[in-house]
Amino acid sequence: MIVGIGIDICNTRRIEKVLQKPYSQNFKKKVFSDNEIEYCDKMKNNAPHFAVRWAVKEAFYKALPDDLQNFSSWKSIEFINDGEKKPFVNICDKTLSSKMRDAGISRIHCSVSHESDICAAQVILENCGKQE
């Protein structure tokens, strides 16, 4: 059963402008995991990669049931693209992971797309029954 659906779009240029500011390192550390930063910073043009991760985080938050949103922050999740399999959302926060498990949320579906200066992300949370 679908518990939540979230979608977000992000203008890559908006993130690119932030990444050019003197406080860009603080921004990255506040919003993204070390793994996300390492992956994106390897790219020649890192703005689209940071932008799509921003969109995934927004879409994930929107998909969360209201009673779980208080347990989520920017760094509660990370969007992983290891190049060997389909990209996925990893829950980094143990409390959020536990609360999601208690709610029976056992699957996170994520789809992203890039086009010119826009990227989009959709997240679907699925409840496959309470875990005992």
Q: Would strands 77-80 and 88-91 be described as parallel, antiparallel, or unpaired? A: antiparallel
pLDDT(130) > 60 = no
pLDDT(53) > 60 = yes
Closest CA to 123 of 64, 51, 50: 64
In the predicted model, what is the mean pLDDT of the chain?
93
Query: Given this model, what pLDDT does residue 7 score?
Result: 98
pLDDT(42) > 90 = yes
pLDDT digits (tens, 9 = 90+) for 71-102: 999 999 999 987 777 889 999 999 999 999 99
Tokens of 129: 């029954």
Instruction: Assess contact for 112 and 119: CB atoms under 8 A.
Output: yes
CATH domain 2-127 topology: Ribosomal Protein L22; Chain A (3.90.470)
Number of helices (H), then strands (E), belonging to the chain: the values are 6, 5
pLDDT(52) > 70 = yes
Q: Give the single-character DSSP code of 75.
A: G
Q: Please state the length of the chain.
A: 132
| Domain positions in the chain | 2-127
Higher pLDDT, 82 or 130: 82
